[in-house]
Structures are given as structure tokens and as C-alpha cells.
Copies of this chain bind each other. A is one copy, B any other.
Amino acid sequence: MGEPAIERLRSTVVSKLTDVPKRILIGRALRSDRLGETLLPKRIALPVFASDPLSSVAYAPGEVLLVLSIAGVTAYHFSPWIAVAVVVLMFTVVASYRQNVHAYPSGGGDYEVANTNLGPRAGLTVASALLVDYVLTVAVSISSGIENLGSAVPFVVEHKVLCAIGVIVLLTLMNLRGVKESGSLFAIPTYVFVAGVFTMIAWGAFRGLVLGDTMRAPTADYVIKPEHQGLAGFALVFLLLRAFSSGCAALTGVEAISNGVPAFRKPKSKNAATTLAMMGLLAVTMFCGIIALAATTDVRMAENPARDLFHNGVPIGEDYVQNPVISQVAEAVFGKGSFLFIVLAAATALVLFLAANTAYNGFPLLGSILAQDRYLPRQLHTRGDRLAFSNGIVLLAGAAGLLVGIYGADSTRLIQLYIVGVFVSFTLSQTGMVRHWNRLLATEQDQTKRRHMIRSRAINAFGAFFTGLVLVVVLVTKFTHGAWVALLGMVIFYATMTAIRKHYDRVAEEIAAPEGPSDDSVRPSRIHSVVLISKIHRPALRALAYAKLMRSDSLEALSVNVDPAETKALREEWERRGIDVPLKVLDSPYREITRPIIEYVKGLRKESPRDAVSVIIPEYVVGHWYEHLLHNQSALRLKGRLLFTPGIMVTSVPYQLQSSEAAKRRARRQAEWNAPGSVRRGPAQVRSKESTEHKS
């Protein structure tokens, strides 16, 4: 199948799904508890997808100032230029991803774009980067949220790590329980946050420009002792690049919308692209506004405030808590402890926690896509499966908690790890898009379409170049500051996933069915059935009845003589009841159960190697885990051993005890659980043929 044909097939599949959502909607109408999963209008899609990128303006401007402070307060004059560079980069990335959204209306995330266009290695690299990113999104967002909350509630900052771990635990439990999401859950804090920042910028501009007030940040009187006085030349350029790298934290999460196109109302791609543009515009305005206000109100921040910040000529010491730039600016504009200051701090923290929550959705979802491509255990593949999500959620929470613990919930130190992964996926995704357009251009004849494609390719090419450049800058300027940790994480993910894929490939080769209509080597000629009996009770009688119905070539009941008295009683009752199945009793001098049965079955196989043996085990089904400890344990162990014996099939005939009703209800409740993040994923989607074709 040539590539254009594949592309056409993909479009057909996609359009079929997007044009005929009726079947899906009807399927859904059956389950009223899922009715909430409707398509999103732009005004809701914006907060749902943008909590991550928008919330990063809470820490990104501060990071720029922190790095600049190394060269002393005079270097703060470079901050507008760094803001301009970040804005240019933001527009580039937004413009690039608008192309992704149009090209992959099925919601091709960076992994799929790289995988499809650049091959599985690039795809896996992007996947590793994204997995690391999700962990860092949780760690950074929660740490920063705690710091923002702490600017209003000092207790929180005094017990930073504890509070951050507390929030992680809370989010984890919420997501494990499958708390139902709704658009408004995202919309309210996000819009309050955006409105708060804009009010702050506007009111600050009004006070400064119209009223002529002198607004002073709480740190305005502090003096920064530069770590490197009078930097110039290469060293200064390096520092500016590092400051720029830090500012790039504002771009994290921009790619989220490109994963979520199917969740938009029609026309999906157009709406998604518009939302992406809106988000970019909001983000840069807020970013620049905060930088400008910080400059106006003389915010002073230092990487090591205890050592490098001086107040009245004295170092401020270890007890000093450096508040985030957004809270310092809010204090200057609104006044400390004022109503608006508190509201903005709360909204900032809430939006940051929501941003962390997006990772709880994204991580298992990416896991399921990777599982489909056999880079992760198969069972993660099933969408909406509770266990699959639980594993992902717990892994994510554990890794994020570990990072928060190691780095003391210090957002500044965590951000050093953050940006590498983001730009790895940006760069590879954009490079993949260039390949995508090249491929389409090779066959496309329509000149209008070609013009469009050439334009898109140019945008993506510039995007790939620029983000690649930033990636190099980030790597160079941040490697020793922590980027190596992120790279190490990526390598670990990459190696693990490669090993898993290799295992699956090896197994697939081993079990591949040989060609030809029949294959005698795997087909036995007769079946000998053995029913295991310990006592005559209802489960045993049921197992016997089922075994008889199965009409195998021969059938016998098997018991192990552990206690001669019990065995004698069994024999007598067997005869008395006139059960028409021969009863065989195995001796067991060591009172073992498993070994005699295994040896007997092996003996049967040795006698007639072409026969298969069917071992039928009556099993109790109980309702509570502690009851499970009291039953079926020997059956379980026996089954475990029997599986290793070739030519065996093991049949459980369950007998439901009354107490099993409780477990049944519990199982049903679990089956009705809602996978978190459903609101941002849209209706069940089928991945394009294009990506599945790469699997085998």
C-alpha cells in the first residue's frame, strides 16, 4: 500500500467517524452516566486545554528574573528583550501546532506525528520525553501552586514539601476514584485566573500611567549582590540565553490542544486552531504584562535569596521566603492582603493544580497509545480500563512525589529539569510535520492545496528550526543545572519501552501460526478429562455434571489420599450415591496435594503423548478477600503448576457462595467507573490506519 493510498484510507476512516458520530452517540445514550461526554464549545475547550500553558505564566517570568539576577540588578534591563524572544517563540510554536491540528484532525499528538513521519525511534524518543514531561508537570505545577498559595497563607510555605505531597495524594485519590470532570470545573478557576491577571495588568497600568502612583514590590528595597559582577561578552550572552531558556517554561503545555481535536465541536480543526491562537495570545499578554509590572514595581529576586539578597546592608538570611513574581506584583498593585490579592493567589494555585491534573489524564492516555504499539504492557491498551489507569496514575504520582521530595518542592530547581522534554517533543513533532507535507506534496496536483501545503511546511520548518535551536540552548545552558536528570529519565523510559517491544516481538514470532490449513503439531487426537474431588459437595457435583456434558474421550474423578479416614468416607459415599464416574485415589505419603496430581497427569501424557488432558477443578467463589485466603489456595497453586505441563487444559467450574454477591456488586461498581480526563478526550476514537500500519 503506497503512502497516498494510506493517507486516503486514513481520511476515510476519520471522516466516517467524525461524520457519523450517531452510532457512537446512540451507544452512549444507553449509558446515562456517560452523557456528560459531549463535545466542547471553544469557550469551554479553552480552559480545559489551556490550564497547563496559561498557568505557566505564574512561574516563567520569575525564572527569567532569577537568572538575570546572577549578573546583578542591572541585568534586569534585559528582561523585556527576553520577553520579546519568548513571545516570538510562542507565536512560532502556536503557528506550528495550528498546522498539526489541521493535518491530524483525529488528534495526532506529538508521539503519533513523530512516529508516523520519522519512524519508531523518533516516536519513542518523543514518547519518553512526554512521559518525563508529565511527571514534571505534576511536580512543577504543584510546587509552584504551593508557593503561590503560600504567599497568602504562610503555613503552606512553611510545610512546603508536606503540602505538595498532600496535594499529589489528593489528586491521585481523586483520579483513582474517577471523579467526574466537567467543563465548568476547569472553566471557573481558569477564567478567574485570567481575569485576575488582566485586571492586575490593567489596574497597574492605570495606576502607573494615569494616576502616576509609585507602586513598590515588597522586595523593591532589597539589594542584589550579583554572583558575577559586570558580566560581558560571551558570559553575558550565555546568561541571557539561560534566562531565555527559563522563560521558555511559559511554553509548556501548548501542544495539549493538538491531542484533543476530537473533543471540539465541528468544524473541529478550525475551532481547535482558533482556540490555540486565543490561548497563545492570552499567554503572551499575561507573560509580558507580568514582566513589565515586575520591572515597574522593582521586584527583586535572586537564585539564592538567603545569600544574595540584602536588606539595609544585611543578608536576609535563611528564614526569608521568596514569593513568586506574580504574587509580588499583585501585592504592589492591589495591596498586601487585599481581597483581589487573595483571590488571585487562590486562583493561581487552583489553576496550577488543575494543570497538574491534566498530567493525570495525559499520562495514562499516552500509555494506552504506547501499549497499542506494544511499547508498554498490552493491558494498558484498553481505553477506560480502570486498572490500566490506576497503574499509570500511581506511577505518575510516585515519580512526581519522589521529585518533589528530592527537590524540596522548589519550583525553581524543578523547572531546570522541565524544559528539555518539552522541546524534544516540539522539535521532533515539527520535523515530522515537514516530512508529512513533503509526502503530501509529492502527489498533490491541486495548486490551491499545494500552496496551502507549502505555506504549512514553511511554518513547520521554521518551527522545527526555532524549537531545535531552543533545545540546543536549553541543553547547553541547563545541562548541569538539572537537565541531565530529565535526560536520564527519558533514557530509562526509552530503554524500558524498547525492551518491552522486543519481548512482544520475540513472543509474536514464537507463537506465529504456521501457514497451511491444518497444523498437526499443535492438535491432539483425544481428550482425557480428570475431575479433582476432595469431598462430595455441591461444587464437586456440579463439576462432575459439567465434565460429563463435555463428552471427552474418557472421564475419571481424582482424589488425593491425605487422610485415610476421609478417603474411606469419600469412597463409601461415592458408591452409595452411585456416581457413574470412576474414582481414582492417589496416595500421598507426605500429605502433599499438588505433586501427586502433577505426576499423575504427566504419567497420563507419557502413556499417550498425542492425547490432551483436561483437568477440571471445582472452585468456590467468595465475596471478600479474606475469604479468598480461606479457599481455593491449593487449587490456585495446582493451576499454577499445571500451566507448565504441556498438553493440559485447566477448567475452573465456579460455585458461587452466597457471600459472592457482595463481590459481584463491587465488580459491577468498578466496571461503571469513569476514566478520568474523558472530557478532554472526546468520543471514543480509532487511531488512523497510518499509525497502526507501523506496528508489525
Question: Hey, which bits of chain A sit against chain B, CB under 8 A?
Answer: 13, 23-24, 27-28, 372, 377-379, 381-385, 387, 500, 503-504, 507-508, 510-514, 517, 519, 522-527, 536-542, 545-546, 549-553, 562-566, 577-578, 587, 589-595, 612, 614, 616, 619-621, 627, 629-631, 633-634, 637, 639-644, 646, 648-658, 660, 663-664, 667, 671, 684, 686-687, 689, 692
Contacts and interface: CB of A to CB of B under 8 A. Distances in A.
Nearest to A653: B649
B652 A639 contact: yes
Contact of A692 (B381, B565, B621): B565
Nearest to A16: B564
Contacts of A653: 649
Contacts of A634: 378-379, 382
Given A513-B536, A643-B656, A651-B651, 18 more contacts: A28-B589, A379-B633, A379-B634, A385-B593, A507-B631, A511-B539, A512-B537, A512-B538, A513-B540, A514-B538, A522-B545, A525-B549, A527-B546, A527-B550, A550-B614, A563-B692, A644-B663, A650-B652
Given A643-B619, A650-B654, A657-B507, A383 B630 contact: no
A679 B387 CA distance: 47
Contact of A621 (B620, B644, B649, B657): B644
A594 B668 CA distance: 12
What 7 A-B pairs are tightest by C-beta distance, nearest first? A379-B633, A383-B591, A651-B651, A511-B537, A523-B545, A643-B654, A27-B589
A522 B503 contact: no
9 contacts: A23-B589, A382-B591, A382-B593, A546-B614, A546-B649, A549-B553, A564-B686, A643-B654, A650-B651
A28 B589 CA distance: 9
Contacts of A639: 652
A504 B536 CA distance: 15
A562 B382 contact: yes
B541 A513 contact: yes
A129 B564 CA distance: 30
A602 to B, nearest CB: 12
B563 A633 contact: no
A503 B550 contact: no
B671 A594 contact: yes
Contacts of A510: 538, 657-658
Nearest to A503: B630
B503 A627 contact: yes
A377 B625 CA distance: 13
A508 B537 contact: yes
Nearest to A573: B513
Contact of A592 (B385, B616, B641): B385
Nearest to A648: B654
Nearest to A621: B643
Nearest to A517: B578
A616 B630 CA distance: 27
A637 B630 CA distance: 21
B500 A592 contact: no
A589 B684 contact: yes
A649 B648 contact: no
A629 B511 contact: no
B590 A684 contact: yes
Contact of A686 (B382, B563, B595, B644): B563
Contact of A687 (B511, B523, B552, B563): B563
Contacts of A551: 550-552
A257 to B, nearest CB: 23
B629 A377 contact: yes
A400 B504 CA distance: 46
Contacts of A384: 590-592
Given A383-B591, A630-B378, A507 B620 contact: yes
A518 to B, nearest CB: 9
A381 to B, nearest CB: 8
B594 A657 contact: no
A651 B527 CA distance: 14
Contact of A589 (B24, B387, B563, B577): B24
A527 B541 contact: no
Nearest to A538: B511
Contacts of A616: 649
A28 B588 CA distance: 11
B541 A524 contact: no
Nearest to A549: B527
Given A644-B660, A671-B594, A549 B546 contact: no
A263 to B, nearest CB: 15
A86 to B, nearest CB: 40
Contacts of A633: 377-379, 387
A116 to B, nearest CB: 15
A653 B524 CA distance: 12
A546 B563 contact: no
Nearest to A623: B644
Contact of A656 (B377, B512, B540, B644): B644
Contacts of A640: 667
B631 A549 contact: no
Contacts of A541: 513, 519, 522-523
Contacts of A514: 538
B527 A542 contact: no
Most buried by B among A549, A552, A577: A549
A545 B524 contact: yes
A111 B589 CA distance: 24
Contacts of A504: 630
A377 B517 CA distance: 50
A312 to B, nearest CB: 51
Nearest to A594: B671
A385 B588 CA distance: 12
Contacts of A524: 545-546, 549
A492 B589 CA distance: 34
Contacts of A620: 507, 511
Nearest to A26: B589
A637 B387 contact: yes
Contacts of A578: 517
Nearest to A27: B589
Contacts of A503: 627, 630
Contacts of A545: 522-524
Contacts of A565: 689, 692
